[in-house]
Amino acid sequence: MVEMMPETPESRQLQWKRLLLNCRRGNAEVEHLLSAYCQGLNPEEPAQAAQLPILEALLAEDDQTLFEWLLQPDSEGADAPDAFTPLIEAIRAGYLST
């Protein structure tokens, strides 16, 4: 049985740092979008800390799927699961606002 760490500011900070490392991808475009978004997160802010598990699940997807979801939203087969849609839109909006 895996023992879960209690939710603390330190554990959220560690999760955020792990996600930053997971943003490193084989696809430069995807890496750029994900890294920029993740670096802008503040794991101490409750609303943003709540996004960390969803971001972790998104980062588990392969590069080609992420490329389609993030950069080719109108292509056939690029429909992201509903759970990821708000996060993908936030990643795109964050990139476009810079």
Residues 6+ apart with CB under 8 A from 91: 33, 34, 37, 70
Average pLDDT over the chain, rounded to an integer = 86
* pLDDT digit string, tens, across residues 61-81: 999 999 999 987 776 656 889
pLDDT tens-digit map of 8-31: 888 888 998 999 999 999 899 999
User: Distance between alpha carbon 8 and the CA centroid of its chain, in Å?
Assistant: 20
User: The whole model's pTM is what?
Assistant: 0.82
Q: Residues 5, 6, 10, 13: what is their CA dihedral angle, to the nearest 10 degrees? A: 70
